[in-house]
Chain A
Amino acid sequence: GQQLNQSPQSMFIQEGEDVSMNCTSSSIFNTWLWYKQEPGEGPVLLIALYKAGELTSNGRLTAQFGITRKDSFLNISASIPSDVGIYFCAGAFSGGGADGLTFGKGTHLIIQP
């Protein structure tokens, strides 16, 4: 099956620092999605990317769809305690959401006060 390599696996940062994580794929995706999951919850959609080269922001979060269609990154600026959680990238091959998603293994974000 398709593989998504997400890095880093975990991050220990100080409050106020910026965060960067990325995903790379062996195959081309037509959609890249970034989710956040907190304990006891399902993944919550943060940002959706539909076009190669697209750069999209959602508050302090910024994500980009790589031009090769095989990678994406997520940046979080000025981290705060509520940013703690597991961040997942996910890719879809089709437009229109007709396919299930392939997920990365997640980045555990831990913020030290």
Chain B
Amino acid sequence: SAVISQKPSRDICQRGTSLTIQCQVDSQVTMMFWYRQQPGQSLTLIATANQGSEATYESGFVIDKFPISRPNLTFSTLTVSNMSPEDSSIYLCSVVKGGQETQYFGPGTRLLVL
């Protein structure tokens, strides 16, 4: 498995502002993903964070709203831009390590937009 940390663990933000969420893994991983979990809902994949290149976004998610960086094999950031109350969710990163086929999740970042 992998030890995954996310910062911040939670935040309360004003609409119109942006928040950058960090995901740090204790070892190199092959794949990193970002998910959103709206209140009382399941997880929805936002994008695959690609090391050294642009992220691959799922339908309904765009780079201007959710810019993602992955500068190396252990770190990624997700920015939630120009936030509105509808962006209030838990944002989770997950990782896949080479040779394995399972995803491990971070603890999540709980975002409330007022």
Query: Residues of A at under 8 Å CB distance from B?
Result: 1, 31, 33, 35, 40-45, 48, 50, 88, 90, 92, 95-98, 100-106
Interface size on B, residues (CB 8 A): 27
Judge whether A103 and B104 touch: CB under 8 Å. Answer: no
Q: Could you tell me which residues of chain B, from 78 to 114, have a CB within 8 Å of some CB in chain A?
A: 92, 94, 96, 100-108, 110
Judge whether B42 and A45 touch: CB under 8 Å. Answer: no
Closest to B29 in A: A97
Query: Residues of B at under 8 Å CB distance from A?
Result: 1, 4, 30-31, 33, 35, 41-45, 48, 58-59, 92, 94, 96, 100-108, 110
Q: Could you count the A-B residue pairs with CB atoms below 8 Å apart for me: how many are there?
A: 64
Judge whether A45 and B102 touch: CB under 8 Å. Answer: yes
Closest to A105 in B: B42
Q: Could you write out 29 A-B pairs with CB less than 8 Å apart?
A: A31-B101, A31-B102, A33-B103, A40-B107, A42-B4, A42-B105, A42-B106, A42-B108, A43-B43, A45-B105, A48-B102, A50-B101, A88-B42, A92-B101, A96-B101, A97-B30, A97-B96, A97-B103, A98-B96, A100-B35, A100-B48, A100-B58, A101-B33, A101-B43, A101-B45, A101-B94, A101-B103, A103-B44, A104-B42
